[in-house]
Amino acid sequence: MRSMKLRGTLGGLNLLLEPGDTASSVAHSLENYSDLLATSVTIEIAGDTHPEALEVALSAIRAAGGTPGRVRAPRVTVTSANGAAVPERAPQEDPELPSAQTVIVPHNVRAGFRGEYKGSVVVLGDVNPGAELIAGGDVIVTGALRGVAHAGYGGYENAIVWARPIASPQIRIGDALARSPEGSSNMRRMEGNERTERASLSGGMIVIDVQR
Which residues, including other chains, have CB under 8 Å from residue 203's CB and lie 6 or more apart? none
Quote the number of domains for the chain.
2
Q: Do 195 and 123 fall into the same domain?
A: yes
How many angstroms separate the CA atoms of 194 and 210, rounded? 11
| Domain closes at, from 39, 72, 105 | 72
Q: Which domain holds residue 109?
A: 78-210
**Contact 109/128 with Cβ under 8 angstroms?**
yes
Query: Do residue 32 and residue 113 come from a single domain?
Result: no
Residues 57 and 146 in one domain: no
Residue 205 has pLDDT above 80, yes or no: yes
Q: Are residues 99 and 22 in the same domain?
A: no
* Cβ-based burial of 128 (10 A; exposed 0-12, middle 13-18, buried ≥19): middle
> CA separation (Å) from 96 to 62, 73, 87, 159, 160?
29, 25, 20, 10, 13
> What is the per-residue pLDDT across 100-111, written as a single tens digit (0 to 9) for each?
667 878 789 999
Domain boundary among 72, 101, 128: 72
Cα separation, 157 vs 172, whole angstroms: 10
Q: Are 88 and 47 in contact (CB under 8 A)?
A: yes
CATH of the domain at 30: 3.30.750
Does the pLDDT of residue 23 top 80, yes or no?
A: yes
Is the pLDDT assigned to residue 133 strictly greater than 70? yes
Which secondary structure element, helix H or strand E, spans residue 141, and what is its range?
strand 139-141
Do residues 34 and 27 make contact, with C-beta atoms less than 8 angstroms apart?
no
Q: How confident is the model at residue 146 (pLDDT cuts 50, 70, 90)?
A: very high
Query: 68: exposed, middle or buried (C-beta count within 10 Å: 0-12, 13-18, 19+)?
Result: buried
Examine the domain organization and report whether 47 and 92 are in the same domain.
no
Mark whether 82 and 179 lie in a shared domain.
yes
Q: 166 and 193, same structural domain?
A: yes
Q: Determine phi and psi for 56, rounding to 5 degrees.
A: -65, -40
SS3 32: coil
| Residue type for position 212 | R
Say whether both 26 and 82 belong to one domain: no
Write the CATH number for 129.
Answer: 2.160.20.70
Residue range 85-100, pLDDT digits in tens: 444 333 333 435 555 6
pTM score of the predicted model: 0.64
Quote helix, strand, coil % in the chain, to nearest 5.
Answer: 15, 35, 50
Domain check: are 186 and 131 in the same one? yes
Shared domain for 46 and 134, answered yes or no, is: no
